[in-house]
Structure 1
C-alpha cells in the first residue's frame, strides 16, 4: 500500500545583510544562529485519501499558524481505509511519525502495551486548556494509569452504529417505516431481489451489528467474548453460552445461504466502506449495513446526493431506533474511542501535545484540520459548512481521531438527512441520552495485563472458529458450536471471564460507596 506524502522544503528564516554594513551593525553569533534556526517538522498519519485540490493552500495556512506558535510544521501521510490494521502497524514500525491514529478498529492497545506511544500523563501540565476542555474524560482513557492518546470527543446524543438505506426505494417497495429488525430484514431481501448481482453485506464487521440488532434489549457488550444482562450489568456471561448467540449464528447462515452476505466475505477486509461507497455511487447497492453515523454523514451523503440528487436516504440506528433505553451519555474509553497518539520515537512530544491542544481548543486550527481550506474544500454559508459547488474529490477528510463535538461547525445537509441529524444529535438524541444517564461501564477499563497468553490463544480461536460462524459459514451449526466452545475452553476463556468478573465486582463496590 502506498503512503501519500507531501514533503516540504526545509523552512528557514533567511538572514539578510544590507550593503556597506559597518562593524557595529554585524549581528553577534547568537543572533545569527537564532535567525537561521531550522523549523522542526512533525509527521502524522491520517486515514482516507487527500483531496484533489487544496493541499498546497492547506499547508500554507497551517504553516503560518504552527511556525508562529511552535516553530514547527506538520505534514500528513494518508493511509486509505480497508487495510488499516496492517498499514498502521507498518507506520508504527517505521518510527517515522510523531502522530499515530488508532482505536478499537486497530491494534491500538497491543501497540500501547509495547510502549509504541508516549505516556502523556506527565505532560498534561503543559496543556491546561486541553485538560479543561475534556472535563475529566482523559482519566477514562488511561490504561494501567497511563494516557496513550487524546480521543475524539462525542457530545450527548444518538447516531452511532446503524444502516444507511435508500428511503425512496423503501417507499417504492411499499415497506413499513424502518423501525425494527423485521422491516430491516424485509428491506435486505427486497434489495437483494432488485440488485441480484451484488451482495448486500460485504464487511466482516456486520456480525457485531447483527448481534446488537437481535439482542440490544437483552445484553450489554462488556468486553470481547463477554456480555452482561441488561438488568444486571455486573454479571459476566460468555456470549457463546447465551441462547441468542446460537440464534444469531442461525440468522447469519440464513443470510449467507440467501446471498445477502457475500460468499467471499471470509477473505474480505474488516472495513469495506470504500468498496461499499463505490458500489452505491454506481447505483449497484442500495444500502450500507454497518457504519458509524458520523462517517456516513461526513463521507457518504454528499457523494451520493451529488451523483443522484433525486435519491433519498434514511438511517436505521441500532440504538436510537431499536433500543433507545440503551442510549447513554458519551462513553470515552480506550476500549471504544478513536484517538491520536504521539509516537515514543518522537523527538518533540511536548510540542506535539501542545499542537493537539490547539487543534481541540482553537477554532481556526480545528476548522483547517477538519474541514480544510475555505473556498477550496468547503464553503461557509450562514455560519454552516456547505459543499455546494465543491467537487466530491475536493472535500477534505478530517484528521482521523480529531473530531470534537464541541468544536464542530454545523454542516448543511440535504433536507431529509438534515432532519435525521437534528433528531439524533440536536433534539431528541441528547434528551434521551441525558434521561438514561451514564453508561454503566463509563468508568470501567478491562485490565488484561495478566491475560497475555489467554488473549493470544483466544485470538487464534476467534479467527479459526468464531469468525466463520459469525459470518454464517457453517454446514453444521451444532457441531461447529461444540467444537468452537471446546477450543475456547482450551484457550483459557474461563480464566478470562473470571478476571473480568473480579474487576467488575471491584467496580461495583466502588460505585455503591459513592453517594
Structure 2
C-alpha cells in the first residue's frame, strides 16, 4: 500500500504548491514533501530541498503546453540545479510600468529589461545583484561570452547577462500588405517618400483606422531622415555625427530634427496619426495586430523585425493565406551597419530583494540557458510538437496554432544557439535577405566607434529627472505632430529643457565622450 500513498502525496504537493505540475508526477524526478510534510519545503529525489525560483518574461502565455513545458523543465533543473522556476508573463503594451512594479515588489528572482524598461534607473539604485563576484561559479558562461560582458558593466559592476547578438537581421521597420501596394500601383517601398505614399493610400482604403497609433513613430521618422548622418548616444536627447563620433550634439539643435517635427505635424493634421496618440500605451503594437487580424488595417508602421517575424507573420498568414506581406527596414539602408556589441537592450537581471539568497542558482540557470541545447530550446521555443516543430535544422510553426506559440524567455536570445526558422510564403526570402545583407554590411563596416561606451548618469541624476519631465510635457506632444507653430513650440521646449539642466547634461556627456575617445586612442 505504500506506493499509492507516495503517488497521492506527490499529487497533493503539485496541487498545493504549483511548483511541479500534475504531469510531472507521472514523468521524471518529482520533488515531494519532506519527512514531516512541512508546508513550503519541497524535496528532490535526493532528499534535498528544491529551490523555487520566480521570474518574469514578456508576451502572452501559450493557450496550452505549459504543463508539459514545466514538466520537462523541472526534470532538468531539479537534476542539475536542485531548483525549479515559474514565469509570470507580462503582455507587451504597458511593459515599462509593469516591469517597474514587478521589480519594486521584490518577489521575483529573475527580471528582464532593456531599452523598453527602466532598467538603468533601477540598476543605479542597486536593485539587482552584482554578478561579477559570482562569475567564477559559471565558467562556461564566461567562456561563451568571451570578454563581451565587459561592455554591459556599470561602475565595474555587472547587473545582468545580455542577449547574444550576431551580425545580420532586421531592425525597426514597417510591415505592410505587398499585394495591396501592387494593386494600388505604388512604387516599391524603399525610402520615406515611398512609405508615405503607401500610408496615404492606405488611409483612403481604411478610413476608420489610424495608420499610426504608436508614439514611437517619431523615432522612426528620425531614423529615416537623419539616421545616415548621426548616431544616437543618449536616445531622445543627444547624438554624435558619423563624421565626428565623439562630439556630443543636442538632437533638438540639428536641422533634421525640425524636419522631423514638420513631417509629424503634417501627418497628424492629415489624419495619418491617431488623434488619440498621446493616450496610447508605450507600446501599441498589440492594438495594431488585432486590427490586422480582422483586416481593418494593412500595415504596422513601427515594430522590430524579430517581433514581426515571431508574432505577426504566422498569425496573419494563417488567417489570410492569400495576402502577401512586405517589409521596409528603416535601419538597413538608412543607418550605418556595424558589428553588434553587447548592450543592455535586452538583459536578464537577478534580484537582490527577498530572493537574493538564490542568486548563485539563478545565475547557473542563465548559464545553462546560454550553453546547453536542451535548456535553450525549451526556454526559447517551448515543447517540441506542442509549441513548435523541428524540421531538420529548422524551427517550424506549421500546424501549430498561433495561440500556442510560446514567447521565448525575454533576454535569452543567443545568436550562436538559435535555430533558423521556416517562415510561410514570401517571408522566408525576406528573412534570408536581411540576415545576409545585414551581416555583409556589418562585417564591411566593422565595430561602431561607440562600441563599449556607456554614459554614466549618476553625476546628473537630478537634471535627467527634470529633463524627462520637460520632455514628456513639451517634447512628446510636439514630436507626434500636436503643434500650432513648430518654431515657437520648439523654442519654448529648448528653453524649458535648459532650465531643467540640459547644458549640464551635455557638459557631462562631452566629458565622458572625451575620456572614452582618449581611451580608444
Same fold (TM over 0.5): yes
2:455 pairs with 1:446:
yes
Q: 1:99 aligns with which of 106, 110, 115?
A: 110
**Aligned partner (choices 498, 505, 511) of residue 502 of structure 1:** 511
Q: Which residue of 2 aligns with 1:460?
A: 469
CA separation in 2, counterparts of 1:6 and 1:271?
34
Partner of 2:52: helix, strand, or coil? Answer: strand
Whether 1:257 and 2:269 are equivalent positions in the alignment is yes
Instruction: Find out whether 1:196 has 2:204 as its counterpart.
Output: no
Query: Residue 157 of structure 2 aligns to a residue in which SS?
Result: coil
Whether 2:393 is the aligned partner of 1:372: answer no
Please tell me whether residue 341 in structure 1 is matched to residue 349 in structure 2: yes
For 1:395 and 1:402, how far apart are their aligned partners in 2? 17
- Per the alignment, residue 77 of structure 1 pairs with 88
Secondary structure, aligned partner of 1:494: helix
Moved over 3 A (4+): 9-16, 32-37
Question: Within 5 Å, which residues of 2 pair with 1:249-328?
Answer: 249-323=261-335, 326-328=336-338
SS state at 1:450 partner: helix
3-state secondary structure, aligned to 1:131:
helix
Q: Deviations over 1:452-490 (max 9, x none)?
A: 110110010010001011111111212111110100110
Aligned-residue offset at 1:7: 3.0
Report if aligned partners of 2:223, 2:334 keep a CA contact under 8 Å in 1.
no
Alignment CA distance shift 1:6-1:289 (3 Å): farther
Please give the alpha-carbon distance, in whole angstroms, between the structure 1 residues aligned to 2:91 and 2:120: 21
2: CA distance, partners of 1:15 / 1:482? 69
Deviation at 1:33, TM superposition (A): 11
Shift of 1:321: 3.1
User: How far 1:35 sits from its partner (Å)?
Assistant: 5.0
Deviation at 1:37, TM superposition (A): 3.2
The SS at the match of 1:348 is helix
Q: Trace 1:226-241 onto structure 2 (pairs within 5 A).
A: 226-241=238-253
Moved more, 136-145 or 215-224: 215-224
1:211-260 per-residue CA deviation (whole Å, 9 max, x = no partner) reads: 11111122111113101122111111101111111111110000001111
Which stretch shows the higher mean deviation, 158-167 or 456-465?
158-167
Write the distance in 2 (CA, Å) between the matches of 1:132 and 1:162. 34
Post-superposition offset of 1:13: 4.7
* Distance of 2:349 and 2:44 partners within structure 1: 33
- State the alpha-carbon separation in 2 of the partners of residues 162 and 94 from structure 1: 35
TM-score of the aligned structures, taking structure 1 as reference length: 0.92
Distance 1:331 1:468 in 2: 33
How many residues in Structure 1 have an aligned counterpart in Structure 2? 488
CA distance in 2: counterparts of 1:312 and 1:34, whole angstroms: 53
Deviation of residue 12 (structure 1)? Answer: 3.3
Question: CA contact under 8 A between 1:458 and 1:492: conserved in structure 2?
Answer: yes
Inter-partner Cα distance in structure 2 for 1:15 and 1:316: 58
What does the per-residue CA deviation read over 1:374-407, in whole Å, with 9 as the maximum and x for residues that have no partner? Answer: 1111111122111111111111010111111111
Q: Deviations over 1:414-440 (max 9, x none)?
A: 231111111111x22211110011111
Q: Secondary structure at the match of 2:189?
A: coil
Q: CA RMSD in A?
A: 1.8
Partners of 1:133 and 1:361 within 8 A in 2: yes
1:147 counterpart (158, 169, 177) = 158
CA apart distance, 1:163? 1.0
In the alignment, the residues of structure 1 paired with residue 265 and residue 44 of structure 2 have an alpha-carbon distance, to the nearest angstrom, of 70
Paired position in structure 2 for 1:431: 440
- Change in Cα spacing, 1:12 to 1:238, as seen in structure 2 (3 Å) is same
Q: Distance in 2 between matches of 1:288 and 1:440?
A: 32
